[in-house]
Structure 1
Amino acid sequence: MARIDWFQAGMSDGRLGIEPSYFSVYEQLCARRSKTPDREAYFAAYREGVRSYCNPKNIYQIARTGAVAIGACEDSAVIRKAVQDGFANLLEQ
C-alpha cells in the first residue's frame, strides 16, 4: 500500500479551498485500515495552501467563473466583496 504524504494532501486541499472539516473523512478512511493520518503535517500544509486560495484576488477570479466556495476562508468583508465583485463581473459579460 502506498504511503500518503499528508503534507502534500493538506497543501492540495488548502489550495482547492476544501473546508478543514474534511479531514474527518481521512480519519474515517484510515481507521478502516487501522491507520492514523498525520494531522500535524496535514494542517501545517493546509494553513499554507488555504492562504493562497483565500487571497481576495483568487476568490474574485474564481467567482468570475460562477462557482466559488469560501467555507475554508475566514469570514471577512474583503472576501465577501471579492465574491460579490466576481459574480457582478460574471453577470456583466
Structure 2
Amino acid sequence: MKLWKLVTLLSIPAWLTVASGCAIISENECQAGLWYERGIEDGARGQTQATVYKIAQKCHEYGVRTDTAAWMRGYEEGIERYCTPENGFAVGRRGRNYEGVCTGPTADLFLANYERGLAVYQAEQQYAALVDRYESAERELYRVEEALDESESKEERRALRSQRRSLLREMRHLEAEMMHFGGFGAFNPLLFY
C-alpha cells in the first residue's frame, strides 16, 4: 500500500475523534455552573430547549448537577435576542438552519426575514456554482486552444475546433445565467430580497 494511502487511512479515526469531540459542554463548563449565562448564550444561538437536557446528561456524567431553572431563565432572555427580524435575516443569509424556536408575534417576523435571507444565501450559492463552471470551461478552452496550436492532424484539429465551439456555447450560456444574478463578478443580493 502506498504511504499516502496508509497515512490517509490512519488519519481518518483521528479526524473523526476530533470532529465528534465537539461536546455540547465541557467538564470545566459544568464545574463553573454558570447556568443562567449558558442559557442566554444557547438561546441567543437559536438552540432548542432540548439543549438543557443534553447539557444535564453530559454534566451528570461529570458528577455535576445542572440548574435547569436558571438555564431556562437565561434561555428565555437569549431567545428574545435571537428572535428579532434583523437576526432572522442574518441567520438565513448565513445559510444556517432555523429550529423553530421563536414563538408569539416575533415568530412571523423572524421567519419572514429568515426566508428572505435564506433566498439571498441560496442565490449566492447558485451564482458561485455558475462562476465555478464558467472558470472551469475557461480553463478547458485555454487547454483546447493550446492543443489546437500544436495539433498536426486534420482530424484532431476538427475535433478540437468542435470542442472549442461547444465550450464557447457553454460559456455564453453561463454568462446569460449569471446575468440573472447581477452579471459576471457582480453578484447583486438586492435582486433577491
Which aligned pairs between 1:6-21 and structure 2 lie closer than 5 A? 6-21=35-50
Which aligned pairs between 1:30-45 and structure 2 lie closer than 5 A? 30-45=59-74
For structure 1, the 5+ residue unaligned runs are none
Closer, same or farther: CA 4–85 of 1 in aligned 2, 3 Å: same
Aligned to 1:26: 55
Contact 1:27 1:37 in 2 (8 A): yes
**Deviates most, 5-14 or 72-81:** 72-81
Q: Displacement, 1:83?
A: 1.6
Aligned to 2:11: none
Q: Displacement, 1:84?
A: 1.6
Matches of 2:58 and 2:94, distance apart in 1: 32
Q: Displacement, 1:22?
A: 1.0
Task: Tell me the TM-score normalised to structure 1 length.
Answer: 0.82
Aligned to 2:111: 80
For structure 2, the 5+ residue unaligned runs are 1-27, 124-180, 182-188
Matches of 2:112 and 2:68, distance apart in 1: 32
Amino acid in the other structure paired with 1:42: W
Which aligned pairs between 1:35-74 and structure 2 lie closer than 5 A? 35-74=64-103
**What fraction of aligned residue pairs are identical, expressed as a percent?**
24
| Pairwise CA RMSD | 2.0
Q: How many residues align?
A: 93
Q: Which has the higher contact order (CA 8 A, sep 6+)?
A: 1
Higher Cα radius of gyration:
2
Task: Tell me the TM-score normalised to structure 2 length.
Answer: 0.43
Matches of 2:60 and 2:77, distance apart in 1: 26
